[in-house]
Amino acid sequence: MPHNITIRPAIPEDAGIILTFIRDLAAYEKLSDQVQATEEDVLCSLFGEKPDAECLLAEDDEGVQGFAIYFHNFSTFLSRSGIYLEDLYVRPEARGQGIGKSLLEKLAAIAIERGCTRLEWAVLNWNQSAIGFYESLGTKILDDWRLCRIEGEKLSRLAEGN
């Protein structure tokens, strides 16, 4: 068990480790072929003039062990912002030591501090260890909603009205 877990906002100098975590997460999810992000992309998206998202890093006595990338979303029914957790990742050798929970606790505190009403994220249906972990925190897994995505050529065709 690490003696100290520190959660801090990422800084531009962390872009390399963030990209490493993105690649490690993709490998875990068997989606490595979908990673197109570069270190320059990470710098621009997280630390550019108008950042698209924010990142927290978790450190212990051994160094940076995990991250959480998140951004604001919006509930029309509540007319209030929420936080959407895009990715949460902890190095396999550091799991089970409270790092993931510490990241989620900090994210919940940020949500409350910013007046957000929700913290939401998606989990792959085969990832039973993550589902069990999230449920142990009191997370409600929504069965009645499906994630929708349109991308690439189909996105372009839709934008053109085709």
60-106 residue pLDDT tens: 999 999 999 999 999 999 999 999 999 999 999 999 999 999 999 99
pTM of the full structure: 0.92
**CATH superfamily, region 6-159:** Gcn5-related N-acetyltransferase (GNAT) (3.40.630.30)
CA distance 108 to 85: 10
Kindly give the residue spans of alpha helices, DSSP state H, lying in the chain.
15-28, 39-47, 99-113, 128-136, 152-159
Asked whether the beta carbons of 86 and 52 are under 8 A apart, the reply is no
Query: pLDDT averaged over the chain?
Result: 95
What does DSSP say about strands 119-121 and 80-90: parallel, antiparallel, or unpaired? parallel
Domain boundaries, the chain: 6-159
Confidence of residue 111 (pLDDT cuts 50, 70, 90): very high
CA distance 57 to 10: 6
* pLDDT tens-digit series, residues 44-70: 999 999 999 999 999 999 999 999 999
127-134 mean pLDDT: 92
pLDDT at 1 over 60: no
Q: Would you please indicate which residues are annotated as catalytic (active-site) residues?
A: 134
